[in-house]
Amino acid sequence: NLTERLDGVFRKLRGHGTLTEENIAEAMREVRTALLEADVNLQVVKEFVASVTAKAVGKEVLTSLAPGQQVIKVVYEELVSLLGTHSESLRLDGRQPVVIMMAGLQGSGKTTTSAKLARLLKEKGRKPFLVPADVYRPAAIEQLHVLGEQVGVPVFASSTAQKPADIARQAEAQAVAAGYDTVILDTAGRLHVDEELMAELQEISRAVSLSEVLFVADAMTGQDAVTVAAKFSADLEITGVILTKMEGDARGGAALSVKQITGRPIKFVGVGEGLDALEVFHPERAASRILGMGDVLSLIERAEKVVDEKKAQQLASKLRKNTFTLEDFLEQLQHIKKMGSMEQLMSMVPGINKLRQLKDAPQPSQKELLKTEAIILSMTRTERANYKIINASRRIRIAKGSGTSVQEVNRVLKSYALMLKMMKKISGKSAVVKDGQRRK
């Protein structure tokens, strides 16, 4: 896999230093091959490699990461950012009922996915209404009726004699009358994109106000999915993408390309024929999949943990020696800002993970953290080393210096003192555990 390949490339470079254009060029060739093998569109690969190169060059190599791993980290992060960084939900707010239209080629999975989506929305407490608008094949209408029955969602009684835009309009009116809040339009597809199909979809979009136009693409078709996506998004205001048949060997390259080409988020992925096989799209998982290694995440996590563990050990030793100063508190705050939570850091300190209440304690907001940081930064070194000397006049000075108030300075000192007390208790406990025997 890619990890192994890159490790080989960088074996000779193990150690410290920075990443240079030369030493990452070789790695980029490997990345390029891996992405192309994963069926990512060539143009997308080119842009991707250029952007990763720009980001990786000159980056300091984390001591805990081999350079090859460092590149993988950059590649991985870039992949995630391209794929959308976070999961996107459906637009279901606003005027009810909302209308969702499925669009895509024949066989991409529109009808199946309509039913899957209806099932999912019903589970969430919504009242979906399935509407067959594929009037060319009676079997298609029948198919949606069968699926609707299976998921227990009502299906509009379309007829092949109607125009799809009329079906949409009538179905919307019926939804209003019956109190359904989500209309799901299953449209016709063709084997290839043609103008008639696009005209029909555009007509539907004029007939009703669409909250979502979901482009459904078969991930197994790889490059074709990309071409089709480009054509659909040129003619239609697509709001999101659903990739089907993602459970197979399709390595997810289509995901990267389709997202890049349409500029629209991937909202769901189909992972099987069963009606429960629809999942919210997770960019991180897809990124690992494209890299062809489920372990890339854990690799990065492990590497980052080494750094954090070192910090945690220092912290633990300070706690034992009772030398945890405001200076350490400041460093920890900065660390929390990076790591996202206090709990993550504390969980690495021996003995602390047993303290459940830490987990339930409210997490300080980013704003609070910044304020606290500013307050500690306004203290002198002597004050940070010994908070007990911080009397009233010093508090006023610190408040002025940090642009806060005396009350806020008091609050920080109080919470520090409280933390100190708590830590003393914990570190005492962990010493007992460590020695393996009870002390009197």
Q: How far is the CB of 82 from Mg ion (least distance, A)?
A: 30
Q: How far is the CB of 190 from ligand GDP (least distance, A)?
A: 10
User: Which 180-209 residues touch ligand GDP, going by CB under 6 A?
Assistant: 189
Draw the binding track, 237-276, toward ligand GDP (x: CB under 6 A; -: no contact).
-------xx-x----------------------xxxx---
* Minimum distance, C-beta of residue 201 to ligand GDP, in the bound complex (Å): 13
Burial class (CB in 10 A: 0-12, 13-18, 19+), 10: buried
Q: Is 108 among the residues that bind ligand GDP (CB under 6 A)? A: yes
Size of the site for Mg ion (CB under 5 A): 3
Burial grade of 97 (CB within 10 A; 0-12, 13-18, 19 or more): buried
Q: How many residues bind ligand GDP (CB under 6 A)?
A: 17
Q: In angstroms, what is the minimal distance from the CB of 37 to Mg ion?
A: 31
Burial 224-243 (b: 16+ CB within 10 A, else e): ebbebbebbbeebebbbbbb
CA distance from start to end of the chain: 56
- Cβ 140 vs Cβ 165: under 8 Å: no
Alpha carbon 41 to chain centroid distance?
A: 22
Per-residue x/- track, 315-334, ligand GDP (CB under 6 A) = --------------------
Place of tokens 């590497």: 303
Residue 111 sits in the site that holds ligand GDP (CB under 6 A): yes
- Binding piece for ligand GDP, criterion CB under 6 A, among 9-17, 102-110, 377-385, 399-407: 102-110
**Alpha helices (runs of H) in 152-282, residue ranges in sequence order:** 164-178, 195-207, 223-235, 253-262
Q: Which amino acid is at 334?
A: Q
Q: Using CB under 5 A, which residues numbered 90 to 149 contact Mg ion? A: 110-111, 140
104 lies in the binding site for ligand GDP (CB under 6 A): yes
Identify the residue among 87, 106, 347, 410 touching ligand GDP (CB under 6 A).
Answer: 106
- Which amino acid belongs to residue 49? V
CA dihedral 276, 282, 287, 293 (to 10 degrees): -50
Binding site for Mg ion (CB under 5 A): 110-111, 140
Binding site for ligand GDP (CB under 6 A): 104, 106-112, 189, 244-245, 247, 270-273, 277
